[in-house]
Amino acid sequence: GAVVSQHPSRVICKSGTSVKIECRSLDFQATTMFWYRQFPKKSLMLMATSNEGSKATYEQGVEKDKFLINHASLTLSTLTVTSAHPEDSSFYICSARDGFQYEQYFGPGTRLTVT
Amino acid sequence: AQTVTQSQPEMSVQEAETVTLSCTYDTSESDYYLFWYKQPPSRQMILVIRQEAYKQQNATENRFSVNFQKAAKSFSLKISDSQLGDAAMYFCAYEGRDDKIIFGKGTRLHILP
C-alpha cells in the first residue's frame, strides 16, 4: 500500500524557536496533503489543507502565522511551528491524498515537545 | 457543518466475542464517505473499513463489518471474534465533497483475555 512518512518522529525544542516537520508521500503523487493535531487521548483536529503549488487553507481558529505550511512538490509538504511555546506541544499527523487512487493515507505522526 | 459523534468513550469485550462500536453523523450532503480508523499505541492511523454513501450494501473486511443506515445517519462497526490485537482507539470519520476528513472523538476498545 501507499506510504506516507514524517520526519522527525520526535522533536524537542526550546520555547521561542521554530521547528519544521516534513511529510512525504513515498510512492505516489499527493495533490493534496492535510495536517492534523492530536492532543493526548483526544481526537484528530484538522489544522489545514495544502495543495501543491498554492497557499494552504487553514481551519477556523488555526493561526496561519504560527503554523506555516508549504507544499512545494507533489511528494512533500512541510509544517513549520514558529516561535514555539509549550502549549504547541502535541502530536502532529499529516495525510496525503493520492490523486489517481483517490485514497488518503496517514503518516506515522510527529511528537513535538516544547520546553 | 458536518459532525461525527461517538457516544462510547470506552468499551470492553471478551476475547473471541463480538462488539459493536456506535457512530452517528450529521451532514446535508448526499454523497460522502465514511470510515473507521484504528489507532494503536504507536499512534499510526490504520484504515479498518470504508463505506461509500451511495452504496446500500454494508462494507465488510474479514472480521470487521459495518451497519450503515443512511436515513438515520448511523454507521456502526462490528468486530467479530475479537482478538487481543484489536485493542486500540477507534475513530469514526466522515469525508465529504471538500475531501476533508472529520473525526469523531473516538472509542477506546479493551480486549479482555
Residue A1 clears pLDDT 80, i.e. is over it: no
DSSP A19-84: EEEEEEESSS-EEEEEEEEE-TTS-EEEEEEEETTS--EEPTT--TTTEEEEEEETTEEEEEE-S-
Q: Residue B11: its pLDDT value, please?
A: 97
Of A34, A43, A49, the CB nearest to B105: A43
Q: What is the pLDDT of residue A68?
A: 96
Close Cβ partners of A41 (under 8 Å, ≥ 6 residues apart): none
In this predicted model, what pLDDT tens digit does every residue of B33-51 receive, in sequence order? 999 999 999 999 999 999 9
Residue A98 — very low, low, confident or very high, per pLDDT cuts 50/70/90? confident
Tell me how far apart the alpha carbons of residues A106 and A4 are, in angstroms, rounded to a whole number. 6
What pLDDT is recorded for position B9? Answer: 96
Band of pLDDT at residue A103, cut at 50, 70 and 90: confident
| pLDDT top residue among A6 and A74 | A6
Predicted local distance difference test score (pLDDT) of residue A106: 95
Residue with cell 485493542: B87
Residues of B in contact with A46 (CB under 8 A): 100-102
Q: How far apart are CA B22 and CA B67, in angstroms?
A: 9
Q: Count contacts between A and B (CB, < 8 Å).
A: 36
- pLDDT score of B21: 98
The pLDDT value given to residue B47: 94
Whether B1 and chain A come into contact, CB under 8 Å, resolves to no
Give the pLDDT confidence of B53-100 residue by residue, as tens digits. Answer: 999 899 999 999 999 999 999 999 999 999 999 999 999 999 998 889
pLDDT in the model for residue A72: 83
DSSP 8-class letter at A88: G
Asked whether the beta carbons of B49 and B67 are under 8 A apart, the reply is no
Residues 6+ apart with CB under 8 A from A102: none
Q: How many CA atoms lie within 13 A of B88 on its CB side?
A: 21
Interface test with B, best of A39, A46, A104 (most B CBs within 10 A): A104
What is the CB-side half-sphere exposure of residue B20 using CA atoms within 13 A? 8
